[in-house]
Amino acid sequence: MYKNLRLWLLGGLMLAAASCKTDDEVVVPTKYGTGFLMVSEGNYGKNAGDLNYYDYNRDTVLPYVYSAENPGKTLGPNTSTMEFGTIYNNKIYLVGKYGAPFVVLDASTLKETNRIDALPGDDGRAFVGIDETRGLLSTSTGVFPVNLTNLTLGAAVSGVTGEVTDMFRSGNHIFLLSIKDGIVVLNANDYSIAKKLGTAVSGFVQSQDGNVWAASKTQLKKINASSLAVDSITTNFPVYFNEFTYNSSSMVASPAENAIYIISGANKVYKYLPGQASSLNTPFITLPAGQYFYGKGIWFDRIRNILVLNSNTNMYGADINNQLYLYSATSGALLHSSTYKGYFFPGMILN
């Protein structure tokens, strides 16, 4: 089965090389052209965060590829934690907490091109790109405009105070996940507040029908991306969130069908088909016994139409044995699993 899987994955990679990129697609670095990059939090007090790389063809994880491409540089002191990574306009943006920097890499080479060492509150959360020259950085003390030309921060966005984690842009709106105010929506042109939509603990993804999704502890929030109207769908399970980690929330959407995937508890994934309440009744995937999600825990490979799940045998990630599981996003069938060893504390796969 794995031999066939490798051929299928290679075919998907060739298709990816020939297809056009949209803003939310993953750009595969040319030197690391048969897999994906994972943000490693680092081993607190011993090693700073880094990037690890999983190669589908070799079924192996190459550790510390940021350090390999940037000799003498680190992603912060060993008392910081690198948590978040995303790819925007052929650049990789990395954000961390506890004194970690805001770092920009060339997505083709992984070479560092710029950084901001001292962030507001000394505590970063996430980054979202707005256009060719603008982005936003969320922190423990609010949200700050980023000049992408020279990587400088502007004054805090007015009306948004306190900790903000996830951010997502859709059309003329930017969705923020505020600890104090829940879902806050900004106008993309001037960062003014368009609307506040209520409590949430997780977000954001956009389903094939154009709706933006977030979640409270027991409800999914379907948000019309234009009108900002909200419908609440009660789940039959608790929505997973971790208030102490600041990687992207543990939910993903499929570009191939109108479906979203949400982690519940430490070991379950639900697949919700909008409008089909019964799809919330039964887990789509349950991790093998003794495995627990760590960090974001889930990633959608848009080219191959598979879910990649990241787990550890210790609920806090403190075991040397890390696991990757590859599941069909259509059927939920397990396609392959791979073990890699090290105290990496994997935060998330780059989106």
pTM: 0.90
Check residue 31 and give its pLDDT: 72
Question: What's the domain count of the chain?
Answer: 1
DSSP helix/strand/coil, 68? helix
The domain in which residue 210 lies consists of 2-349
Listing DSSP states for 98-145 in one string gives TT--EEEEETTT--EEEEESS-GGG-EEEEEE-SSSEEEEEETTEEEE
Check residue 33 and give its pLDDT: 75
Instruction: Give 26-72 pLDDT, tens digit per residue.
Output: 444 457 778 999 999 999 999 999 999 999 999 999 999 999 999 99
Listing DSSP states for 253-298 in one string gives E-SSSS-EEEEETTTEEEEE-TT-GGGGSS-SEEPPTT-EEEEEEE
The CATH code of the domain that includes 275 is 2.130.10.10
Low-confidence ranges of the chain (pLDDT < 70): 1-30, 244-245
> Nearest CA to 32 among 112, 111, 110?
110
DSSP helix/strand/coil, 6? helix
